[in-house]
Amino acid sequence: MAVRESLEVADGGCDDDGHRPRRAGTAWTCAAHIITAVIGSGVLSLAWSVAQLGWVVGPACMFCFALVTYVSAALLAGCYRTGDPEKGHRNPSYMDAVRAYLGKKHTWACGSLQYVSLYGCGVAYTITTATSIRAILKANCYHKHGHDAPCSYEGSYYMLVFGAAQLFLSFIPDFHDMAWLSVVAAVMSFSYAFIGLGLGMATTIANGTIKGSITGVPMRTPMQKIWRVSQAIGDIAFAYPYSLILLEIQDTLKSPPAENKTMKRASMISILVTTFFYLCCGCFGYAAFGSDAPGNLLTGFGFYEPYWLIDFANACIILHLLGGYQVYSQPIFQFADRFFAERFPDSGFVNDFHTLQLPCLPPWRVNLLRVCFRTVYVASTTAVAVAFPYFNEVLALLGALNFWPLAIYFPVEMYFIQRNVTRWSARWVVLQTFSVVCLLVSAFALVGSIEGLISQKLG
């Protein structure tokens, strides 16, 4: 039976803007969402990234990106409300904030970049999950038949399996209903990050020496070295920022205290935790393998034994990415829900919910628009992942693409308007210089990542 109702369920009271149910997020649930989003597939590429950059530039880049990410998060958190930080009008998404502060033209540019980046994260997570499933099968095969055995498995089938699982999870209504999934995913991310750290540390101790060099992996020509360095910077850029979903996560927080204060606290906790893991995994991975550091620390088979621990770590990656995919996809789903509901307010296809009763399961409320849109979305991310299954290059491209515009440019420009910063004042000059430097870094990483992706595709 069809029932016409709003996209939110009336339960638990209203917030100051009439939102139902009342927002109930805390700094810790917020940190769980952030860690789920940040400690993802990016951490697995950091040993390779440090190997390209060397012992000085590699760790320094991670510290720099950590600082830049916190500054970006602090600037953007203040844009959640227009006017008063406690009672002002809410901006529940990145696009809403850009529309309120910068106008329509900037909103279209921001929305295009944000949703392309979110979509790309879904592609990257599909690739990574398939790689981890294959790594489990390979670890068991190598353990049984020896390290020289021809253990090879096709990845496309496992991408389809992951896509099927995401199709089911995509019917979680929104962020307010998935705190449990983010907590599980955050626990999984801690687990495999600790395992990668432990294996790297154990291998370094067993080797009796710290491998690597100041300049990183030697290449045949200076141009090849430049391309590798740019890809490594792109990989690190992918691993850190979460600005494209920051306001969507902030919109789950209860008030008081003011949401921007809670978000800044959660950001500080999350960035400290992730930087610790990133430095440990990247540096111990490089110390263990030197120039032979694999592109993916837990699936590149720098480690073979104990095979059961490799299996467990990759299982944790798979479970984490099941949640991480949803964290990055929910903003797109919510935008589609709002957009079609506003454009077609009288459409039963868009607005009606149907109750579906399956054997041995509680009643399930189904909306036909959600079924169709989310099915097409998941199917398309799976198809693109099958066409471009290149882990490091895809991560570098995504990192370079969204780093400057979404993590730097828009937050800085909104901050100028919010705080009425005068042109050519000391604060204006410092932040503009900061923005220009980040633009140059982003452009450098983007060119290198495109070159790497083309080279891989052409064989």
Q: Which class for 432: exposed (0-12), middle (13-18), buried (19 or more C-beta within 10 A)? A: middle
Residue 5 has pLDDT above 50, yes or no: no
Mean pLDDT computed over every residue of the chain: 80
| Residues, the chain | 459
The answer to which of 64-68, 248-252, 365-369 has the lowest mean pLDDT is 365-369
Closest CA to 94 of 106, 83, 383: 106
Residue 452 has pLDDT above 60, yes or no: yes
In angstroms, how far is CA 367 from the centroid of its own chain? 27
The answer to which of 83-87, 105-109, 267-271, 339-343 has the lowest mean pLDDT is 83-87
pLDDT tens digit string along 145-177?
Answer: 877 777 777 778 888 988 888 888 777 665 555
Q: For 169-232, what is the HEC assignment?
A: HCCCCCHHHCHHHHHHHHHHHHHHHHHHHHHHHHHHHHHCCCCCCCCCCCCCCHHHHHHHHHHH
Measured CA to CA, the distance from residue 23 to residue 249 in angstroms comes to: 11
Q: Angle at which helices 426-457 and 391-404 pack, to 10 degrees? A: 160
Q: Is 258 helix (H, G, I), strand (E, B) or coil?
A: coil
Residue 432 has pLDDT above 90, yes or no: yes
Q: From residue 210, give the alpha-carbon distance in Å to each of 104, 206, 228, 423.
A: 53, 10, 22, 50
pLDDT at res. 395: 67
pLDDT at res. 92: 83
Mean pLDDT of 174-203: 73
Residue 241 has pLDDT above 50, yes or no: yes
Residue predicted with more confidence, 309 or 2: 309
Question: Which helix (H) or strand (E) segment is 455 a member of?
Answer: helix 426-457
Residue predicted with more confidence, 435 or 451: 435
E strands in 284-406: 352-356, 364-367
Residue predicted with more confidence, 142 or 268: 268
pLDDT at res. 355: 74
83: left (phi over 0), alpha (psi -120 to 50) or beta: left
Measured CA to CA, the distance from residue 222 to residue 55 in angstroms comes to: 19
Read off the pTM: 0.75
pLDDT tens digit string along 276-308?
Answer: 878 888 888 888 888 888 777 666 655 566 778
Closest CA to 401 of 432, 447, 341, 367: 447
pLDDT at res. 9: 41
pLDDT tens digit string along 316-358?
Answer: 888 888 877 887 788 888 888 888 888 888 887 877 777 777 6
Measured CA to CA, the distance from residue 75 to residue 91 in angstroms comes to: 14
Proportion of the chain above pLDDT 70, given as a percent: 86
pLDDT at res. 277: 79
Closest CA to 314 of 96, 208, 158: 158
- Burial per residue of 338-377, b for 16 or more beta-carbon CB atoms within 10 angstroms, e otherwise: eebeeeeeeeeebbbbeeeeeeeeeeeeebbbbeebbeeb
Q: Is 139 helix (H, G, I), strand (E, B) or coil?
A: helix
DSSP for 78-117, written as a single string? TTSEESSTTTSEE--SHHHHHHHHH-HHHHHHHHHHHHHH
Measured CA to CA, the distance from residue 330 to residue 33 in angstroms comes to: 12
Residue 206 has pLDDT above 50, yes or no: yes
pLDDT at res. 2: 44
Residue 400 has pLDDT above 90, yes or no: no
Two tokens, residue 386: 């099958």
- The pLDDT-based confidence of 379 (bands split at 50, 70, 90) is very high
Residue 385 has pLDDT above 60, yes or no: yes
Residue type, 369: L
Residue 181 has pLDDT above 70, yes or no: no
Q: From residue 20, give the alpha-carbon distance in Å to each of 24, 351, 445.
A: 11, 17, 42
- The pLDDT-based confidence of 433 (bands split at 50, 70, 90) is very high
- The pLDDT-based confidence of 4 (bands split at 50, 70, 90) is very low
- The pLDDT-based confidence of 14 (bands split at 50, 70, 90) is low
Measured CA to CA, the distance from residue 307 to residue 179 in angstroms comes to: 32
pLDDT at res. 434: 92
Question: Which helix (H) or strand (E) segment is 4 a member of?
Answer: strand 2-4
Beta bridge partners of 90: 81
Is residue 247 within 8 A of residue 90, CB to CB? The reply is no
Beta bridge partners of 354: 2, 366
- The pLDDT-based confidence of 429 (bands split at 50, 70, 90) is very high
- The pLDDT-based confidence of 446 (bands split at 50, 70, 90) is confident
Is residue 75 within 8 A of residue 244, CB to CB? The reply is no
- The pLDDT-based confidence of 40 (bands split at 50, 70, 90) is low
